[in-house]
Structure 1
Amino acid sequence: MLKLEHVNKIYGERHALNDVNITFPEHKTTVIVGPSGSGKSTLLRSLNLLERPENGLYHFDDLTLDFSQPISEKNVLQLRRQTGMVFQSFNLFPHLTVLKNVTEAPIHVLKQAPAIATSTAKALLAQVGLADKADQFPTALSGGQQQRVAIARALAMKPKYMFFDEPTSALDPELEADVLRVLLKLAQEHNSMIVVTHNMEFAKGVADQIIFLEEGEILYSGDPQTFFTEPTERIHDFLSAMNFMIK
Structure 2
Amino acid sequence: MITLEHVDKKYIEHHALKDVSLDFPKNETTVIIGPSGSGKSTLLRAINLLELPEKGHLKFDDLDIDFSQPISSKQQFQLRRKSGMVFQNWNLFPHLTVLQNITEGPRAVLKQSKTVAENAAKKLLELVGLPDTANRYPNQLSGGQQQRISICRALAMQPEYLLLDEPTSALDPELEIQVLRVLKDLAAQKQSMIVVTHNMEFARLVADRIVFFEDGQAIYNGASKAFFDHPEGRIKAFLEAISLESDEAADSNLS
Tell me which interval the TM-score lies in, with the shorter structure as reference length.
over 0.9
Structure 1 residue 15 corresponds to structure 2 residue 15: yes
3-state DSSP of counterpart to 2:110 = coil
Cα distance change on mapping 1:234 and 1:93 into 2, 3 Å: same
How far apart, CA to CA, are the structure 2 residues paired with 1:244 and 1:162? 32
Sequence identity percentage? 61
How far apart, CA to CA, are the structure 2 residues paired with 1:241 and 1:44? 24
Post-superposition Cα deviations, 1:100-156, rounded to whole Å, max 9, x if no partner, equal: 000011001111101000000000011001100110000010000000000000000
How far apart, CA to CA, are the structure 2 residues paired with 1:18 and 1:160? 27
Alignment match, 1:68: 68
> Number of aligned pairs?
246
Instruction: State the shift of 1:242 in Å.
Output: 1.8
Alignment match, 1:42: 42
Aligned Cα RMSD in Å?
A: 0.9
The letter for the 2-side match of 1:141 is: L
The letter for the 2-side match of 1:221 is: N
Which of 76-85 and 237-246 deviates more? Answer: 237-246
3-state DSSP of counterpart to 1:23 = strand
How far apart, CA to CA, are the structure 1 residues paired with 2:239 and 2:245? 7
How far apart, CA to CA, are the structure 1 residues paired with 2:244 and 2:111? 46
Instruction: State the shift of 1:46 in Å.
Output: 0.2
**Runs of 4+ residues over 2 Å off in structure 1:** none
3-state DSSP of counterpart to 1:81 = helix
| Equivalent pair of 1:166/1:198 in contact (CA under 8 Å) | yes
Post-superposition Cα deviations, 1:204-233, rounded to whole Å, max 9, x if no partner, equal: 000011000001011000011111111122
Q: TM-score, normalised by structure 2?
A: 0.95
Post-superposition Cα deviations, 1:28-51, rounded to whole Å, max 9, x if no partner, equal: 000000000000000000000000
Alignment match, 1:213: 213
The letter for the 2-side match of 1:146 is: Q
Alignment match, 1:6: 6
| Equivalent pair of 1:201/1:244 in contact (CA under 8 Å) | no
Superposed, 1:37-186 pairs within 5 Å as: 37-186=37-186
Q: Which ranges in structure 1 are unaligned for 5 or more consecutive residues? A: none
Q: Which ranges in structure 2 are unaligned for 5 or more consecutive residues? A: 247-255
Alignment match, 2:235: 235
3-state DSSP of counterpart to 2:4 = strand
How far apart, CA to CA, are the structure 2 residues paired with 1:244 and 1:32? 22
How far apart, CA to CA, are the structure 1 residues paired with 2:181 and 2:17? 31
| Equivalent pair of 1:98/1:135 in contact (CA under 8 Å) | yes
